[in-house]
Amino acid sequence: MVSGRFGNSAQGTTQTYTYILYTSGFIHHTTLTGLAPNTRYFYRVGDVATGFSQEFSFMSHPGVGPTMSYTFGVVGDLGQTTYSNNTIWHMVANSSIQSIIHPGDLSYADGDQTRWDSWGRLAQPLAATKPWMVAAGNHEVESWFSQEFTAYNARFQMPSVNPYKNASGNLFYSFEVGPVHVLVLCTYYNFTQGSPQYEFAMNDLKSISRARTPWVVSLVHAPWYNSNEVHQGEGDAMMAVFEDAFYGNVDIVFAGHVHAYERCYQTYKAQRDPKAPLYITIGDGGNREGLYDTWIDPQPVWSAFRQAAYGHGVLQVTGTTATWTWHTIDTDEPVASDQITLTKSA
Ligand code: FE
Ligand code: MN
C-alpha cells in the first residue's frame, strides 16, 4: 500500500464513558477485514466533517502456521514514567517486533481517568503501529465508585469472540499468530471451576492444534511462581485451578504484577519438569510504584534468574525454537541481560 493514498475505509463505532465527574473523549473502535497478509497499510482516523489524524502505518496479520516465524515484544506493568517512555521507544526501535503482548497493569491511572488519556498519548508511537494485546491487571479494575474495568473495557477491544463476551468484556480471550496460540486470562475476574472464564480456558486449551500452532503462550497478571518477597502467594488460587490443565499444554506463561524480572525453569508443582510451562515475570516496564528488590533467600529450585531492573522482553518463535531475551534499560540502550531458547522437534 502507498503512503498518502487512502483507497479503503472502514466504519467504526464511537462511544464515551463516564467515571465519577470525568467524561471521556470519543473512543472509536473499528474492525478491519479482508486485509492482505503481512502487508504494510497506511491509515488515518477521522472523517470529512471533523478532520483526520496524522498518517500512521502497521503491518497486517501474517497468518498462522507451524513453519512461520514470529516475534513478540513483551512488557508488563508499564505505567507512564520516563522509564515507561524508554521501554516504549526501545520496542519502537526494534523493527523485528511484530506485536506486543502485555500481561496487565497499563496506565496506573488508578481512578484518575485523565491519566488514561496521557497514557494513550505516551503509548501512541508503539500502539498506532503494532498490534498491542493486553491483559487486565489489578490496576485495570478501578472499582471505586464505578463498575469494575470501566475504562479498560471502553478503551481496549480485544478479540473476545468467545460466548462469554458480554459477561466479561475483554478480560479473557485467545488468538493465534504465526506458530503461536496465545491464551489471555484475568487474575481479577472469577476463574473458579465452572465459571465462564474457567470454561473458556478449558475449551480453548482443548481446541488448540499443535500441528497448526506448535507453541502456546499464556498471559496472567499475578505470577504463579514468584520468589520476590512482594506479592507472595497472590497467584496461588489461580495456579491451583489451572496448573494441571497447563501442564504439557502451555509452553510459556508470562505474568507481571511483581515490579522486577524473574525467569523460572519449566516448573510443575514447585519442581523442575521439562513438560511444564516456563514461567516468566516481566512486571518491570517502568511504572511509578518503583522496583521490588527484596528476594527470598535461598533462591527456590524453580527460580533461574531474577533481577530488579526496568526493561522489556522479546520472544522470537519459529516452528521449532522459542528464543526469549530480556532487555534492561541501561542508559539509553536496551541491553540483553538474560536469554534462553526452548526447542521442540518438528
Ligand atoms: Fe503493577
Ligand atoms: Mn499489578
- The pLDDT tens digits for 89-112 are 999 999 999 999 999 999 999 999
Q: What span, in angstroms and rounded, lies between the C-alpha atoms of 186 and 255? A: 11
Q: Is the pLDDT of residue 180 over 70?
A: yes
SS3 281: strand
Q: What span, in angstroms and rounded, lies between the C-alpha atoms of 346 and 320? A: 6
Q: Is the pLDDT of residue 161 over 70?
A: no
**What's the distance, CA 80 to chain centroid?**
16
- Of the chain, the percentage scoring pLDDT greater than 70 comes to 97
Cα angle value 5/9/10 (rounded, 5°): 150
| pLDDT value of residue 162 | 66
For the segment 111-124, what is each residue's pLDDT rounded down to a tens digit? 999 999 999 999 99
Report how far ligand 2's centroid is from the alpha carbon of 215 (Å): 26
Which bound ligand lies closest to the C-alpha atom of 289? 1
Report how far ligand 2's centroid is from the alpha carbon of 221 (Å): 7
Residue 327 is among the residues annotated as catalytic for this protein: no
Mean pLDDT rounded to a whole number for the chain: 95
Catalytic member of 231, 257, 312, 327: 231
Cβ neighbors of 130 (< 8 A, separation 6 or more) are 58, 59, 73, 91, 97, 98, 99, 100
Which residue is associated with the grid cell 501474517?
A: 62
Q: Is the pLDDT of residue 167 over 70?
A: no
For the segment 227-265, what is each residue's pLDDT rounded down to a tens digit? 999 999 999 999 999 999 999 999 999 999 999 999 999
Report how far ligand 2's centroid is from the alpha carbon of 9 (Å): 38
Cβ neighbors of 69 (< 8 A, separation 6 or more) are 178, 179, 316, 317, 318, 319
Which bound ligand lies closest to the C-alpha atom of 286? 1
| pLDDT value of residue 15 | 93
| pLDDT value of residue 268 | 98
Instruction: Work out the pLDDT band at 331, boundaries 50, 70, 90.
Output: low
Which bound ligand lies closest to the C-alpha atom of 108? 1
Instruction: Work out the pLDDT band at 302, boundaries 50, 70, 90.
Output: very high
Report how far ligand 2's centroid is from the alpha carbon of 198 (Å): 21
| pLDDT value of residue 165 | 65
What is the rounded average pLDDT of the residues 149-175? 83
The least confident of 6-10, 90-94, 269-273 is: 6-10
| Residues within 5 A (CB) of ion ligand 1 | 77, 105
* Cβ atoms 257, 79 nearer than 8 A: no
Report how far ligand 1's centroid is from the alpha carbon of 81 (Å): 13
Q: What span, in angstroms and rounded, lies between the C-alpha atoms of 109 and 96? A: 30
Q: How far is CA 42 from CA 29, 60, 93, 122, 275, in A?
A: 17, 11, 19, 21, 43
Closest C-alpha to 43, from 4, 11, 14, 12? 4
- Of the chain, the percentage scoring pLDDT greater than 90 comes to 89
Instruction: Work out the pLDDT band at 160, boundaries 50, 70, 90.
Output: confident
Report how far ligand 1's centroid is from the alpha carbon of 11 (Å): 35
Which bound ligand lies closest to the C-alpha atom of 78? 1
**What's the distance, CA 298 to chain centroid?**
30
| pLDDT value of residue 335 | 79
Report how far ligand 1's centroid is from the alpha carbon of 257 (Å): 4
Cβ neighbors of 57 (< 8 A, separation 6 or more) are 1, 3, 40, 41, 42, 43, 129
Report how far ligand 2's centroid is from the alpha carbon of 77 (Å): 7
Burial per residue of 157-190, b for 16 or more beta-carbon CB atoms within 10 angstroms, e otherwise? ebebebebbeebbbbbbbbbbbbbbbbbbbbbbe
What is the rounded average pLDDT of the residues 196-200? 93
Report how far ligand 1's centroid is from the alpha carbon of 102 (Å): 12
Report how far ligand 2's centroid is from the alpha carbon of 301 (Å): 25
Q: Is the pLDDT of residue 40 over 70?
A: yes
What is the rounded average pLDDT of the residues 139-164? 87
| pLDDT value of residue 169 | 76
Give the H/E segment covering residue 229.
Answer: none
For the segment 56-81, what is each residue's pLDDT rounded down to a tens digit? 999 999 999 999 999 999 999 999 99
Beta-bridge partners for 339: 325
Q: Tell me the residue ranges of DSSP E strands in 204-331.
A: 215-219, 252-255, 261-268, 271-272, 278-282, 303-307, 311-317, 321-330
Beta strands 303-307; 321-330: pairing state: unpaired
Whole-structure pTM value: 0.97
Q: Is the pLDDT of residue 346 over 70?
A: no
What is the rounded average pLDDT of the residues 307-313? 96
| pLDDT value of residue 333 | 72
What is the rounded average pLDDT of the residues 131-154? 93
Q: Assign residue 290 a region: left if phi > 0, alpha if psi is -120 to 50, beta otherwise?
A: left
What is the rounded average pLDDT of the residues 26-42? 95
Instruction: Work out the pLDDT band at 36, boundaries 50, 70, 90.
Output: very high
| pLDDT value of residue 336 | 79
Which residue is associated with the grid cell 513478540?
A: 72
SS3 303: strand
**What's the distance, CA 307 to chain centroid?**
21
| pLDDT value of residue 19 | 94
